[in-house]
Amino acid sequence: MTAPATKGSAGLRTTPARAPTLGGFADGTLITLALGAVILWFAPSGMGRYGTYVLSLWLVMAIAVMGLNLTLGYAGLKSLAQAAFMGIGAYITALLTTKTGISWYAAFAISGIATFAVGLLLGFPALRVKAHYLAFVTLAFSTLVWLVMRNEQWLTGGVFGLSNIPRPSLFGFKLDGALAFHRFVVVVTFLLAVLLWWMIRSPWGRAFTALRENPIRAASLGIDTRMYTLLAFAIGSAYAGFAGALYAPLVEFIDPSPFSLSQSFFLLLMVVAGGAGYLLGPFIGALLGVVLPEWLRFAGSLYLIIFAAIVMLLLIACPQGMSGLIERGWAWITGKNKAGGGR
Amino acid sequence: MSQVLEVTNLHKAFGGIKAVNGVSFSVNEGEILGIIGPNGCGKSTLFNCILGQLEPTEGSVKLDGREVTNMRPSELNRLGVSRTFQLLQVFPELTVRENLILAGQEHQGSMLSRFFGARDAGLGEAADRMISFFKLGHLIDAKAGGLSYGQQKLLDAAMAFMAGPRLVLLDEPAGGVNLTMLGDLKERLRAINAEQGSTFVVIEHNMDFVMSLCTRVLVLAEGKVLAEGTPAEVRANPAVIEAYLGH
């Protein structure tokens, strides 16, 4: 089928060609991601082992938040199970690398595939229930996964967890050191971010946004809302699985506590505070969630109160999160208050 | 001239209320059929039953002779059936151009090719031409949510034509649109109908708009067909004057 506008007519005229964006391929987001990766490659210099660990943890959490940003921020599906999916990925990787000796790369792929499949199954309720009802379905799933991690001691080690999780090697080079592993995390995070960037700027991304904004209209335009709902859940969950597969060798010991329901709420906070539906939002959100508490340690026992106050003030001042605030500031500077375009 | 749409004995009840009560009609290829009737007579419910948004209690809907009753809206759209809604249904966070590309993208290739292919699904130029055709060229990169009501109505209508549909159902396209834009909209619809031979079904309360645009008019009252004929015949029908048009 062709649009009527493609047929010749005296009434049809062509608007001037639009300005190309760096050869029509790269855009500001991709350049920011590439620059960020370069900076983070060198950033740990002089930071010490703990500082390097915090930077790596930030990126790992950013991967999980990227997945939730796709599910919630772009597709508008409320999920409270992201930490549970991260736990599934972490436990699969830990079990496979410690008990079977399988390589981390295979474990990483299996973690992604398994969480994709479980996310696909969890997506089916999303075809029937919406909004807070869907959130409660995922909440129940999250609790179930956490109970399995805690109670099935024969498999997961229960509250004692799993230890001595090995870090991967790359072309024969061991990545045991904090700096080497950090750089490995930078590369994996960059690749996953670029994959998501590609997806969001493709017609899939537009369909996810349509699903969030108006699913009835989307369906009337031929968008298979069921397919895209399931995909948003499955891909978002797979990102949490990938994050878990990196988290396990980063901390080298896992137990159920980082994958509890409260952690899912914390990941949700990172999506909202960073800017839901903004591609770079997860990095800002994870920075607030992981690094800001570290910066506030000088405040001693008050740091959590200060952290909560900062987050509340941010969301009151800018409900669209930090990315929305930055976008508004940029529009004010450049005078493009009604600018459109992708996020 | 072949029948594009055939609706037979369609019923839709909400509890004890019969919103659509045994409606039958057909639409020929290239025709512009108007559906008029007082508020609450079942016009939009009829559209929603035809388009799979509501499940009819009874009756059948055929597209080009093929049974499509209860088919999902997305599947119907891919068979060439497009629509607009009574209330505005653009995507406010997307730009005008993105709204139009979105409206046609699912007709381009497969899921995989849309993932790996061009960002605009190969529809960039078609979208630009459609934007010009509906006189929205100065708003090409503006977010749809920032447009005036009339501009959003034009965009909404333009989106319905982006995939080159065989049948378009327009639900009150003139509602809330000022006189200048109304003239533009009518002119655009006539041009598309003439050039493409697209078939339209239009629900509308604006009698001048309906009578000057449509080739045939169907009048609904209390969920039933009250009258059917050319605009002149309908205008002169005493039952229609009594129930809807007034003296």
DSSP B170-230: EESTTTT--HHHHHHHHHHHHHHHHHH--EEEEE-S-HHHHHHH-SEEEEEETTEEEEEE-
pTM exceeds 0.90, yes or no: no
Closest approach of chain B CAs to the CA of A187, in angstroms?
Answer: 22
Residue-wise pLDDT tens digits, A188-208: 999 999 999 999 999 999 999
User: Could you tell me the pLDDT band of residue B197, with boundaries at 50, 70 and 90?
Assistant: confident
Residue A287 lies in a domain: no
What pLDDT is stored for residue A10 in this prediction? 29
Residue-wise pLDDT tens digits, B123-172: 999 999 999 998 899 999 999 999 998 889 889 999 999 998 999 999 99
Percent of chain A with pLDDT over 70: 90
What strands, in cross-sheet order, belong to the sheet with B81-83?
B81-83, B167-171, B199-203, B32-36, B216-221, B224-229
What pLDDT is stored for residue A343 in this prediction? 55
Q: What's the domain range around B233?
A: 3-245
Residue-wise pLDDT tens digits, A203-223: 999 999 999 999 999 999 999
What pLDDT is stored for residue A14 in this prediction? 31
Cβ neighbours of A341 in B, within 8 Å: 95, 141
Residue A80 lies in a domain: yes
Residue-wise pLDDT tens digits, A311-339: 889 888 888 899 988 888 888 888 765 44
Residue-wise pLDDT tens digits, B61-105: 999 999 999 999 999 999 999 999 988 889 999 999 999 999 999
Q: How many A-B residue pairs are in contact by the CB < 8 A criterion?
A: 161
How many Cα atoms sit within 13 Å of B61 on the Cβ side?
Answer: 22
Average pLDDT over residues A227-253: 97
Q: Does A222 touch chain B (CB under 8 A)?
A: yes
The rounded distance, in Å, linking the Cα atoms of B200 and B34 is 8
Of A268-272, B173-177, B223-227, give the lowest mean pLDDT range: B173-177
User: Could you tell me the pLDDT band of residue A304, with boundaries at 50, 70 and 90?
Assistant: confident
ipTM of the complex model: 0.90
Cβ neighbours of B128 in A, within 8 Å: 14-15, 18
Cβ neighbours of A213 in B, within 8 Å: 91-94
Q: What's the domain range around A86?
A: 27-258
What distances in angstroms separate CA B12 from CA B41, B54, B55, one per listed residue?
A: 12, 9, 8
Residue-wise pLDDT tens digits, A144-153: 999 999 999 9
Average pLDDT over residues A84-99: 97
| Residue B138's CATH number | 3.40.50.300
Q: Does A213 touch chain B (CB under 8 A)?
A: yes
Q: Which of B108, B114, B133 sits opposite A11 (nearest CB)?
A: B133
The rounded distance, in Å, linking the Cα atoms of A159 and A156 is 8
Name the domain count of chain A.
Answer: 1
Name the domain count of chain B.
Answer: 1
Cβ neighbours of B88 in A, within 8 Å: none
What pLDDT is stored for residue B1 in this prediction? 66
User: Could you tell me the pLDDT band of residue A45, with boundaries at 50, 70 and 90?
Assistant: confident
What pLDDT is stored for residue B182 in this prediction? 85
